[in-house]
Amino acid sequence: MKTLGLFRHAKSGWADPRARDFDRPLNERGEKGALLMGRYIRDHGPRFDRVVASPAIRVSETIDIASKAFGRSFPVEWDRRIYLASSATLIDLLHALDGDPDTVLMVGHNPGLEDLIFDLVPDDGSSPLRDEVEVKFPTAAFAVLALAVDRWSDVAAGCAKLVSLTRPRDLDPTLGPELVG
C-alpha cells in the first residue's frame, strides 16, 4: 500500500500582465490559504517520505509558506515536468520514483492533479469525495489517496481510493469562491 498526497498550489495573482505564467506569485488570498493548508497538513496529513513539486513560482511560494506552518522546511525534489503536466506524465513520474518511499506528496497544478485523481480513483459511484473533485479541485486543495500497490512502478488507472479531500474554504469560509453581487 502506498500513500499519495496531492497539493495544488495556492491562489496566484496576475498583478503583472507581462509576467510569464511560470513566474506568477501568490496573491494575498493565496498566502493565507497556503498557511492555513500547511497547518492542516501538519495536523491531519500523513508524514511524507518524499516531496516532489513543480518549480513554478506559485508552487515554490506555496511550499515555503506551508513549511512555516510545519515549523521547519523539508527537502523538495523540483521537477519541471510537473509544471502543467498531464495525468499521464504525473503517472510516469510516480513510476520513476527512486527508493520506493511509502508516502509521497506531489505539489503542482490543475488540470493535471485533478485528472490524476480521476484516473487513479475508479468512477464507480463509491466515492463521494471523487464527486466533490468533479465539482472543483480549487487552489490550495489537498487530497490523500491510498494506492493498492506495493511499488510506485505498479501505479495504474483505478488503483486508488480517495481517502480525504480538504479545500481552504472547508477550514475558512472566507477562502471559498468569490461571490459576485
Grid cell in block for residue 42: 501538519
pLDDT of residue 127: 86
Grade residue 17 by pLDDT with cuts at 50, 70 and 90: confident
The Cα 25–Cα 31 span in angstroms is: 10
What is the pLDDT at residue 13?
Answer: 86
Q: Find the mean pLDDT for residues 67-83.
A: 90
Cα(106)–Cα(27) distance, integer angstroms: 21
Q: What integer pLDDT is reported at residue 178 of this predicted model? A: 62
CA–chain centroid gap for 146, Å, is 14
Q: Does the structure show a pLDDT above 70 at 161?
A: yes
CATH homologous superfamily of 2-174: Phosphoglycerate mutase-like (3.40.50.1240)
For residue 67 the three cell numbers come to 513549511
Average pLDDT over every residue of 13-33:
89
